Amino acid sequence: MLSPLLLLSLVAVSLASPLGRGLGDFQVKHAWDAVPAGWEYHSPAPADHVLHMHFALKQGKFDELLRHLAEVSEPQHERYGQHLSKEEVDALVAPHPDTLSTVEGWLAAHGLDPENAIHRSSSGDSITLKVSVSQAEKLLDSKYNVYRAKDDSEYVVRTMGYSLPEALHDHINLVSPTTYFGGLQRMKTTSFVEPDAPTVESADESDFAIPPASCNTVITPECLRVLYNTAGYTPSAKRTSLGVVGYLEEYASNADLRTFLSRFRSDLAGTTFSTVRVNGGGNNQSDPGVEANLDIQYTVGLSGPIPNTYYSTGGRPPFVPDSTTPTNTNEPYLDWLNFILGQKTIPHVFTTSYGEPEQTIPKDYAITVCNRFAELGARGSSIFFSSGDFGVGGGDCLTNDGTNVRRFQPTFPAGCPFVTAVGGTVGTNPETTVGFTGGGFSNLFPRPKYQDAAVTGYLGAIGNSNAGLFNNTGRGYPDVAAQGRGFQVVVAGRVISVGGTSASSPTIAAIFALLNDYRISRGGGPLGFLNPLIYSTARTGFNDITTGNNPGCGTNGFAARAGWDPATGFGTPDFVKLQALV
């Protein structure tokens, strides 16, 4: 049954038009100039094909949320560390009543009942409804088609552009699925198997004074513990927690973790992790994933016995082009964020080893996702993302705005200012930039205040190098770095070598989980959103990487230098130094 408020809204809208055109003419929300690279038109979408359509509403007091986030994340502020509760965040992001009444009235005028939503966030800022293609086309003045990925058999139902009535642009931040073509297959860009790299079946776990020479080519937990100075610290199993976010039907294997620990961290034998299934995510223990095993083996191997949770996130139900009724969404960031923001208790640290070229992400989608990472930060969680594996850009590096200009191609979500992006290094004496590490400057997000001094210092030092190829006013990334080659990972009982900033991000996440444990043991709280800390009082707690670069787009990319740089950030962590700084 519709609420009285909704009925009143429906009457008001209906007086103007049965389809809500009294809200003004349609205006474009987002549109592509051409089918995004890697995709091709296949066929019209069946009219009765069902979409799980997500409406992200304008958040009533988001600017106030950002003020709170800045205060609780700034080490010099009197509120530092006083993070908000779920209820406090919900109150800040709840839509204004006018937004709710206007949007719900518009939906009802199109025969959609918000009271029967598949999902409604606890703050009310997002609504997910079952919407047929024919309804969506009328709702959004759009045309949906089936598109096929050129290099595999993945199909998605998307539109090249969508519009909203003029008055709704002030009330709706995002409607999806619409123009985000990423698809899960496009996300897995930050790890790769190294088939010709050396492997070891076990590691000497004796106390090293310095990393052994083997760590130059083969990385084990013991290499990282010595290199980053955590070997002398024993955490508790009760003070903090760590979450690994997984996609792409990647499953973390309990049996492989047991084998990994027996070979590389025998003192943690018996340590396990929990799995939480999100949006139909699976947990097929007979089909372990390289990415999932890499992440969980190194977060557990470095942070155990701190509790680790693997979030197996679905979002890729099979779509057959001639089917008529199955649902198909393929937008996993929002699926996971909707889930985790609805939880009363969440881990203090999250790591995610996925990303996509920023220019493939519609602006409305990217901003909505990025802002929700800010919500997690305000609640006291640190969010790490790998920076990517294509230097300053892969492929032809041409812009997709119709101009075909060669530009560096930053990565999303690494370029979001509310996450901590992790680049890659290689070698131990000394560490240097690994050539594939992603880094650069966002074209979507402006440079945040917390990194003004560091970034302007770097830009001043490089002068006109790469001029015109990047946005010198954008958010610079990565923020920090860690080893990125030769990680020994057990998959289906066999040790393989894996590289990528996918290895770097869980490494850093585990070290900050240890720092949270230490801080809480001293009566403090979790560190939460880290970047204001990293760019101020904690910058001296990292090993500065001053050699190497991240080539791409036909250039040498950005060179590492003293201080922050868009190849390795402030460098790799020294746990003991950071203990003294947090």
Integer Cα distance of 375 and 367 in angstroms: 13
CB 150 within 8 A of CB 183: no
565 is in an annotated binding site: yes
Size of the chain, expressed as the number of residues it contains: 582
3-state class (DSSP) for residue 553: coil
CB 188 within 8 A of CB 456: no
Integer Cα distance of 309 and 275 in angstroms: 6
Q: In sequence order, what are the residues at sequence separation of 6 or more whose Cβ sits closer than 8 angstroms to the Cβ of residue 447?
A: 441, 455, 473, 474, 475, 476
544 is in an annotated binding site: yes
Active-site positions read 291, 295, 502
Alpha-carbon distances of 274 from 244, 307, 313, rounded to whole Å: 10, 8, 14
What is the per-residue burial (b if ≥16 Cβ within 10 Å, else e) of 264-273?
bbeebeebbb
523 is in an annotated binding site: no
Integer Cα distance of 415 and 163 in angstroms: 27
Strand duo 172-176 + 274-278: pairing: unpaired
Query: Residue 422's beta-bridge partner residues?
Result: 386, 480
Alpha-carbon distances of 64 from 14, 162, 531, rounded to whole Å: 35, 30, 19
What are the strands, taking DSSP E only, across 73-186? 119-120, 126-132, 144-149, 155-159, 161-165, 172-176
Integer Cα distance of 539 and 530 in angstroms: 11
296 is in an annotated binding site: no
Binding residues: 544-545, 563, 565
Binding residues for Ca(2+): 544-545, 563, 565
